[in-house]
A and B are shown apart, each in its own frame.
Chain A
Amino acid sequence: VFKRFVEIGRVAFISFGPHAGKLVAIVDVIDQNRALVDGPCSGVRRQAMPFKCMQLTDFVLKFPHSARQKCVRLAWEKENINEKWSATRWAKKIEAREKKAKMTDFDRYKVMKAKKMRNRIIKHEMKKLQKLASKKGKKPGKPEKAEKAAKGKKPEKAPKAKKPEKAPAPKAQKAQK
């Protein structure tokens, strides 16, 4: 039922507070509500932090409880947590959200145009396939498969068109749907 546990070495993401958005490793548990936490590679000093503001990630480091900062840092860099983190979908979603918030009016226009073009392409292909299907008529299995294959192609086609970096990010999210 639960997959991520609070344990020594668990890497957590801080969701609110002064260190919002940073990663830390749990070094020790103080009591029911607080943990001793350290983030040498993310600019968080060793301190007590309530569990409430921490969100557990999938990463666990190996070091003994109450290990000093040097040990934590070594473990962190050995596991290359920073890179692994930026490769996760979680981090990418956060980045996409930030980029969207920073979009200027001109960027929004460009994204709108790109989306429009992409949707046109998709619709066009869909209509083609539907026509095929309606012609052949009695074999429903084939056209469905063909549609799914076609959808897989679209997100690759559209990004090639002129767009700012920020567009592919919301695009990727939409493609997942």
Chain B
Amino acid sequence: MAGEKAPEKKPGEKKPAKKKAGAKKPAEQKPIQKAAGDKKKRVKKYHASRNPVLARGIGRYSRSAMYARKALYKRKYTAPETKIEKKKKEMPRATITKPVGGDKNGGSRVVKIRKMPRYYPTEDVPRKLLSHGKKPFCEHKRRLRASITPGTVLILLTGRHRGKRVVFLKQLDTGLLLVTGPLAVNRVPLRRAHQKFVIATSTKVDLTGVKIPKHLTDSYFKKKRLRKPKHQEGEIFDTEKEKYELTEQRKVDQKAVDSQILARIKKVPQLRGYLRSTFSLSNGVYPHKLVF
């Protein structure tokens, strides 16, 4: 019995030493080695199937019984938390505080950014059929006629500057042409023109090395419309911008571009006078027979 107890204790001691991380000194070295050994052993050791086979494809136990037998209630693993933490932090703003006018109003209100719909249709919108190749305007291909290159003299055909000869600078993102008089020559400012309503002549001004400021885009030239609809109808027509107001920025940009171009125009004899003149048809002049 004594003899039996001793060996029992030892294996008894060894077993908890195995399972625990090893608190005792003589046991420390061993469990480290054993832990290393255990990892290797755990990787290899898979339990045989706890679900005996009754016939091919049919196990003895059901899904829920197997859950219990495999002790999955103890084995719940979660993915590393860092990504979830990040996503949790990055929640989009739900409300925004906006200033409110009027005295004794409290100065600001907390307003929802994404509001509940104010209308639910009684019938749902039917599913649209598939279509392909219908692109929005911003994705359209912009083309430019081969006869129009930077520095070409164009003849404007429409608009308040019709008939005027003008220097082409570049094509903008929407496909419209950026064009300038220059202002000192024929009073045409930096302006957009439509390719279709323009005749390209074969006369070119050499624009190598001319730098056009990058902030001249479509949004710079777009017409600005103020709209604050108030209930008084008579005043609406006055507040809209009928008159175009020159801004200082336009003047600065005009000067920056024109100074470069005027220098090159002066080099070509008679070109300045040509740009000052306007184009017109007279008797016996047929556009289809003219070489531009």
Contact = CB atoms under 8 A, between A and B. Distances in A.
Contact of B277 (A102, A103, A109): A109
Interface residues of B, number: 17
Interface in B240-269: 269
Contacts of B269: 162
Contact of B270 (A103, A104, A109): A109
A106 B203 contact: yes
A162 B271 CA distance: 12
A105 B292 contact: yes
Contacts of A103: 291
Interface string B192-204: 0000000001110
B92 to A, nearest CB: 59
A101 interface: yes
Given A104-B201, A104-B202, A104-B203, A109 B273 contact: yes
B274 A106 contact: yes
A13 B52 CA distance: 111
Nearest to A103: B291
Nearest to B279: A105
Interface in B278-292: 279, 289-292
A101 B277 CA distance: 21
Interface in B50-104: none
A105 B270 contact: no
B201 A105 contact: yes
B148 interface: no
Contacts of A105: 153, 155, 165, 201-203, 279, 290, 292
Nearest to A163: B270
Interface of B: 153, 155, 165, 201-203, 269-271, 273-274, 277, 279, 289-292
Going nearest first, the 7 A-B pairs with the smallest beta carbon separation are: A106-B203, A105-B201, A109-B274, A104-B202, A105-B292, A106-B274, A110-B270
Interface of A: 101-106, 109-110, 113, 162
14 contacts: A101-B291, A102-B291, A103-B291, A104-B201, A105-B279, A106-B201, A106-B271, A109-B270, A109-B273, A109-B274, A109-B277, A110-B274, A113-B270, A162-B270
